[in-house]
Amino acid sequence: MSREKLLEVKDLTVAFGKRKNRFVAVKGVNFNIYKGETFGLVGESGSGKTTIGRAIMRINETDDGEILFNGQKINGKISKKLDKEVIKNIQMIFQDPMASLNERAKVDYIVSEGLYNTKMYDNEADRKRKVEKALLSVGLLPEFASRFPHEFSGGQRQRIGIARTLVMKPELIIADEPISALDVSIRAQVINLMNDLKQTLGLTYLFIAHDLSVVRFITDRVAVIHKGRIVELAETEELYQNPVHPYTKGLLSAIPMPDPKTEKHRKIEKYDKNIHKYDDNPPKWMEIRPEHWVLANEEEYEIYKRELEES
């Protein structure tokens, strides 16, 4: 894998609302995504995953920090030219293919929308050709272009959602829980399709998920987010085999309906209580092993380090 940085997120903070109602959804988040990799972002509902995706897409305003794409700052005020480049090069796939496709529009229009917005086609024939090519690449027939979304199954609709991004020839695709709304039986097909497309088109993915199970098989590296902060980041196998942060450990051992009496569950609760003590001893983003990062203050860092050496 090349180690060229496609995306750099530095000390990113995103807040909603003003004054008393101000809510900081993402706090001081740091990560890079290298060209050609699948980078996982995992955390429970409300932890800030979509907010980060939308900040990269320039939909959410950022309060602090920087987002660089191919070395250029893309958050805050940017030129029209760069804005257009971002729209073309960073595309998003959404969780719910039932809700994210415009019901009144034909597939042809849905897939063309990005092209229309950026005027990225020579003429009508060129646009049609681009739509056909995008549909074929996700395993759909070109004649589906004249149909409406409701004529398709969930899996097919997610393919339309993917075709809509591919038509732009993006470099980075942010896949926000692309399979969680799908039938279990077709999840693997969509994952395989995404992996094939990655190889053939040289794509890079930010793959957002709320549980760690799927992520192991498709990501190269994973970041775990909790309450707006990334608590741990490592290569996927390293993270699964040697998790150091109590929150990551809890997620890894979590079963769908945790029994409040089990020790593992207690660990997460204990961590949540301790997070408030951080006020007098704030944590930093520390590299505990090469390429393995954890959010910890000095005291915690020493504990994690010892645990890691003993394991």
Ligand X SMILES: Nc1ncnc2c1ncn2[C@@H]1O[C@H](COP(=O)(O)OP(=O)(O)OP(=O)(O)O)[C@@H](O)[C@H]1O
Using the contact rule CB under 5 A, the part of the chain among 48-56, 107-115, 262-270, 300-308 near Mg ion is: 48-56
Residue 16 contact partner, candidates Mg ion, ligand X, none, CB within 5 to 8 A by sort of partner: ligand X
Residue 210 or 292 with smaller CB distance to ligand X = 210
Interacting residue ranges for ligand X, rule: CB under 6 A = 16, 23, 25, 43, 45-51, 210
Distance CA 82, CA 76 (A): 12
Residue 82 or 181 with smaller CB distance to Mg ion = 181
Q: How far is the CB of 20 from ligand X (least distance, A)?
A: 14
Using the contact rule CB under 5 A, the part of the chain among 27-35, 49-57, 249-257, 278-286 near Mg ion is: 49-57
Q: How far is the CB of 49 from ligand X (least distance, A)?
A: 4
The angle, 0 to 180 degrees and rounded to 10, between the axes of the packed helices 124-137 and 184-201 is 120
Output the six-digit token pair for 172. 């980075």
Residue 34 contact partner, candidates ligand X, Mg ion, none, CB within 5 to 8 A by sort of partner: none
Q: How far is the CB of 53 from ligand X (least distance, A)?
A: 8
Q: First vs last Cα of the chain: how many Å apart?
A: 29
Q: How far is the CB of 96 from ligand X (least distance, A)?
A: 10
Residue 115 or 182 with smaller CB distance to Mg ion = 182
Pick from 120, 198, 189, 125: nearest CA to 157 = 189
Output the six-digit token pair for 265. 């569950």
Distance CA 97, CA 5 (A): 30
Q: How far is the CB of 49 from Mg ion (least distance, A)?
A: 5
Side chain identity, residue 287:
E
Q: How far is the CB of 51 from ligand X (least distance, A)?
A: 3
Residue 36 or 228 with smaller CB distance to ligand X = 228
Residue 248 touching Mg ion (CB under 5 A): no
Residue 49 or 159 with smaller CB distance to ligand X = 49
Question: Quick one: which of 50, 75, 91, 158 contacts Mg ion (CB under 5 A)?
Answer: 50
Distance CA 102, CA 237 (A): 39
Output the six-digit token pair for 220. 């190269």
Residue 156 or 219 with smaller CB distance to ligand X = 219
Residue 282 contact partner, candidates Mg ion, ligand X, none, CB within 5 to 8 A by sort of partner: none
Residue 27 contact partner, candidates Mg ion, ligand X, none, CB within 5 to 8 A by sort of partner: none
- Residue 36: left if φ>0, alpha if ψ -120 to 50, beta else—which one? left
The residue at minimum Cβ distance from Mg ion is 50
Distance CA 83, CA 94 (A): 21
Residue 47 touching Mg ion (CB under 5 A): no
Backbone angles phi, psi at 169, to 5 degrees: 50, 60
Long-range Cβ pairs for the range 210-215 (8 Å, 24+): 210/42, 210/43, 210/44, 210/45, 210/49, 210/177, 210/180, 211/42, 211/251, 211/254, 212/42, 212/240, 212/251, 212/252, 214/179, 214/187, 215/40, 215/42
Q: Which parts of this chain interact with Mg ion (CB under 5 A)? A: 50
